[in-house]
A and B are shown apart, each in its own frame.
Chain A
Amino acid sequence: MMYFPEEVLEHVFDFLSSHRDRNAASLVCKSWFKVERWSRHKVFIGNCYAITPERLIKRFPKVRSLSLKGKPHFADFNLVPHEWGGFVLPWIEAMAKSYPGLEELRLKRMVVSDESLELLSRAFPNFKALVLVSCEGFTTDGLASIAANCRFLRELDLQENDVDDHRGHWLCRFPDSCTSLVSLNFACLKGEVNLGALERLVARCPNLRSLRLNRSVPAEILCKILVKAPQLMDLGAGSCILVPRSDSFTKLTSAFLNCASVKSLSGFWEVTPRCLPAVYPICSKLTSLNLSYAPAIQGNDLIKLIRHCQKLQRLWVLDCIGDKGLAVVASTCKELQELRVFPSDPYVGGNAGVTEEGLVSVSIGCPKLHSLLYFCQQMTNAALTTVAKNCPRFTRFRLCILDPKRPDHMTSQPLDEGFGAIVQSCKDLRRLSLSGLLTDQVFLYIGMYAERLEMLSIAFAGDSDKGMLYVLNGCKNLRKLEIRDCPFGDDALLTDVGKYETMRSLWMSSCDVTIRGCKVLAEKMPRLNVEIINDKDLIEETPDDNQKVEKMYVYRTLDGPRKDAPEFVWTM
């Protein structure tokens, strides 16, 4: 092979943005490994316990951007106790010593303390972007540190975090010299913000492109903000309570008229539905619309709004849109690629909601649809088969029938055939979530056809160990498997233990796996952490090996059992 000077190699590697491509390049030869590691500035770690911060720093000395994920996915649904782990502080402490040039930190499902945020804000003079998704453990005091100390902050993006709101004036802590903000999202904060400080901040940041407000920001302030920042491309409205046909309403309409660049709209935590026409001027340009936190927008108001949005590519709504509303989506939004329909009332059965009909309409009207999250009351095999035929390009297909184990409501059969049709038709399927009544048969189909599948979520499904085995044997690209309330036990767990080293993680809760099974797995596979997560209040001193394990979390790791596990987590 010709010899390339390292500078040339480094220049070529600059064009590799995907971490998978870079990972592949680093395996070619020692020289490429060396050049790649010194030029890697961006690292993604899907499980913060897969390696230690020290190992990261040793391999990649010049990182400027780090993405970390902490708790397992089912933590989103309260299945993981709060103190389980996923603390970011050790990472920030280690990076403070070794990555003075750190610019970006993206965290998902991690525990972030105010202390971590304070350290973050002081240790990295060039820090530019903080994105926190589904995190917890911090208060608005921590945000105040970021605002006050990060002189070149461009992005502060808080998505669906549980933040303790001390109602301090964190927004006021942005100094007058801060003019660099490009993206500010505080929609998830529950408390009030200083509205004057907000207006002044927006006014002095000419590059602001994305602004998502929380519900404490009223319509009048939104109006003033839009006038000061007509260049916005992504807007999350706060509250939009207005008197229809009033002066404020007219002002807001004309402010929206002036916003030629808004492509993405969300928020509307509270809204006077009859004032929605104020928003119509921007609807025809919208590519993304998230009304899933706006239960006040229903029925005809919602439908009228959607009729204006012909360019939508992404739509998130509540199921009060109904099948009727989805039919309107199907006839209006021909460019639709991603649809999410959330339940407006998770606990009430027999609620209007959406059914298989809505999904079928969308599959007919929106041929570009490839990503779906759909909470519905009922489903049929026929509908799923039709959807599979109409939309063979699904990459993400997540269906949640609200009543667990509900069969096909027309034939009373399990939904094996319907999901089977999906995996057979959608050759690029990477993520799948199942629901409804399902036997081992559906797993046979998944193992046979879902070749590209990377993440599978299963609940209340299957008859025997065979189900799980079909999946483990068949899905060559499986990375994450999460299972709850299924009759899969030690035999399924232990048949192919090597498989788990090819995956990021396995979660099993309320299944038939026993303590013995976990011990055997841990013994055979030293590079896996096999964690048993106990109910904090019900730990027995010396449990019987035959006892079933309530929650088991298995993940590959280079650095052995973690040192920060709380007492109720046992690493086998």
Chain B
Amino acid sequence: MDVAVRYETDLNIKATELRLGLPGTYSSEAQMVPATKCKKRVLADIVDERRSKSNSMEDDDEEAKPATKAQIVGWPPIRSYRKNSFQARKMDVEGAGIFVKVSMDGAPYLRKIDLKAYKGYGELLKALGDMFKCFTIGELSEKGYSGSDMFISSCRRMRVMKGSEARGLGSGL
């Protein structure tokens, strides 16, 4: 168990890992999953391995306790509809909120925006427009944004610039 923890943090394997593939093509681990959950998942894997290897009663009891607590059928007495919507929501909440800082030239403070709240570039631009009311936006294709892991996962910060400065930086803006 200790081995797993050290592996995750000290060597920082994920950050230095070489892979083929576009950024954002990770499985769910690339999402903003809290660190504790990652650790627990690894923990569970290791424990399962150990449990199948060893016959230690003590270890089994340790890990079995939280499991049995959660497994009394029909307890606590909550409608399965409510329980199910809670489970679904839990996934949402823990994976929710990819916040990036947005700075606008000339504005005295930074704002934060949740990239996950918008379904496309159009919506994002509209939200930015609402936030910083005094600039006009050019057109941008919606393609490539939706569930666009590439944009969302690689976007760390946004900067809103004056049109004159932006010339030459990219097409369509």
- Within the assembled complex, what's the spacing in Å between the Cα atoms of A241 and B89? 15
- Of A161, A246, A292, A346, the contact of B131 (CB 8 Å cutoff): A246
Question: Which residues from B are CB-within-8-Å of A134?
Answer: 79, 81
CA distance A375 to B73 in the complex (A): 17
**How close is B62's CB to chain A, nearest CB, in angstroms?**
15
Q: Is A356 an interface residue (CB 8 A)?
A: no
Q: Flag if B85 contacts A293 (CB, 8 Å).
A: yes
Point out the residues of chain A lying under 8 angstroms from B170, CB to CB.
none
Indicate whether A342 reaches chain B with its CB closer than 8 angstroms. Answer: yes
- Per the 8 Å Cβ criterion, residues 72-106 of B in contact with A are 72-83, 85-86, 89-90, 92-93
Report B112-153 residues with CB < 8 Å from chain A CB. 113, 117, 127, 130-131, 133
Q: How far is the CA of A478 from the CA of B137 in the complex (A)?
A: 69
The answer to whether B74 and A484 have CB atoms under 8 Å apart is yes
Most buried by A among B78, B86, B113: B86
Say which residue of B83, B92, B113 sits within 8 Å of A243 (CB atoms): B113
Known contacts A295-B89, A344-B86; can you find 9 more A-B pairs with CB under 8 A?
A77-B74, A243-B130, A247-B133, A269-B89, A343-B78, A345-B90, A346-B78, A346-B86, A400-B77
Interface string of A218-259 (1 = CB under 8 A from B): 000000000000000000000001010111110000000000
Tell me, in angstroms, the Cα distance from A375 to B74 when the chains sit together. Answer: 14
Query: Which chain B positions have C-beta within 8 A of A296?
Result: 93
Q: How far is the CA of A246 from the CA of B132 in the complex (A)?
A: 9
- CA of A445 to CA of B78 in the docked complex: distance in angstroms? 27
CB contact under 8 A between A78 and B113, given known A243-B127, A349-B69? no
Interface residues on B, range: 20 to 34
Asked if A347 contacts B78 (CB within 8 A), the reply is no
Are A404 and B82 neighbours in the complex by a CB distance under 8 Å? no
Cβ contacts A to B, 10 pairs, < 8 Å: A77-B78, A134-B81, A241-B117, A243-B117, A243-B127, A245-B131, A246-B131, A247-B130, A342-B78, A349-B69
Set of chain B residues within 8 Å of A272, measured between Cβ atoms: 117
Asked if residues B81 and A188 are in contact (CB atoms below 8 Å), the reply is: yes
Q: Are A77 and B81 in contact (CB under 8 A)?
A: no
CB distance from B73 to the nearest CB of A (A): 6
* Per-position 1/0 for A289-329, Cβ under 8 A of B: 00011011000000000000000000000000000000000
| A105 beta carbon closer than 8 Å to chain B | no
Pick from A247, A344, A404: contact of B72, CB below 8 A.
A404
Q: Which of A162, A343, A404 contacts B81 (CB 8 A)?
A: A162
Bound together, the chains give a CA A76 to CA B83 distance in angstroms of 10
Name the residue on A nearest B133 (C-beta): A247
Q: How far, in whole Å, are A293 and B73 apart by their CA atoms in the complex?
A: 22
B130/A246 in contact, CB under 8 A:
yes
Instruction: Answer whether residue B107 sits at the interface, using C-beta atoms and an 8 A cutoff.
Output: no
Which residue of chain B is the closest to A292 with respect to CB atoms?
A: B82
B35 lies within 8 A of chain A by Cβ: no
A74 touches B81 (CB 8 A): no
CA distance A252 to B85 in the complex (A): 26
A160 lies within 8 A of chain B by Cβ: yes
Residue contact A160 to B82, C-beta cutoff 8 Å = yes
Bound-state CA distance A160–B85 (Å) is: 10
Residue in B74, B82, B86, B130 whose CB lies within 8 Å of A248 = B130
Interchain CB contact under 8 A, B72 and A79: no
Q: Which residues of A contact B (CB under 8 A)?
A: 74, 76-79, 134, 160-162, 188, 241, 243, 245-249, 269-270, 272, 292-293, 295-296, 342-347, 349, 375, 400, 402-404, 433, 457, 459, 484
What is the predominant secondary structure among interface residues of chain A facing chain B?
loop
Q: Which residues of A contact B131 (CB under 8 A)?
A: 243, 245-246
CA distance A279 to B138 in the complex (A): 33
In order of increasing CB-CB distance, the 8 nearest A-B pairs are: A246-B130, A77-B74, A347-B70, A160-B81, A247-B130, A79-B74, A76-B79, A241-B117
Of B76, B83, B117, chain A has the most CB atoms within 10 Å of the CB of: B76
User: In the docked arrangement, what's the CA distance between A293 and B88, Å?
Assistant: 11
B77 touches A459 (CB 8 A): yes
| A77 cross-chain contacts in B, Cβ below 8 A | 73-75, 77-80
Q: How far is the CA of A78 from the CA of B92 in the complex (A)?
A: 24
Query: Which of A243, A269, A484: most chain B CB closer than 10 A?
Result: A243
Within the assembled complex, what's the spacing in Å between the Cα atoms of A295 and B140? 35
In the complex with contacts A295-B93, A296-B93, A161-B81 CB distance below 8 A: yes
B77 touching A78, Cβ below 8 Å? no
Say whether A246 contacts B81, CB under 8 Å: no
What's the Cα separation between A459 and B133 when bound, in Å?
59
Please measure, in the bound complex, the distance between the C-alpha atom of A76 and the C-alpha atom of B74, giving whole angstroms: 8
> Known contacts being A76-B77, A295-B89, A404-B72, is A346 close to B127, with CB within 8 Å?
no
Please report the C-alpha to C-alpha distance between residue A134 and residue B77 in the assembled complex, in whole angstroms.
Answer: 14
- A402 in contact with B74 given A243-B130, A248-B130 (CB within 8 Å): no
State which of B73, B85, B90, B93 has its C-beta within 8 Å of the C-beta of A79.
Answer: B73
Most chain B beta carbons < 10 A, residue from A344, A347, A349, A433: A347
Please determine whether B80 and A78 come into contact, CB atoms closer than 8 angstroms.
Answer: yes
A245 to B109, CA, bound (A): 15
> What per-residue 1/0 map shows which CB atoms of B49-76 lie under 8 Å from chain A?
0000000000000000000011011111
Instruction: Tell me, in angstroms, the Cα distance from A338 to B126 when the chains sit together.
Output: 42
Nearest CB on A from B131, distance (A): 6
Complex alpha-carbon distance, A77 and B72, angstroms: 11
The complex places the Cα of A79 from the Cα of B82 at a distance, in Å, of: 15
CA distance A346 to B71 in the complex (A): 11
- B70 contacts which chain A residues (CB < 8 A)? 347
- Chain A residue at minimal CB-CB distance from B113: A243
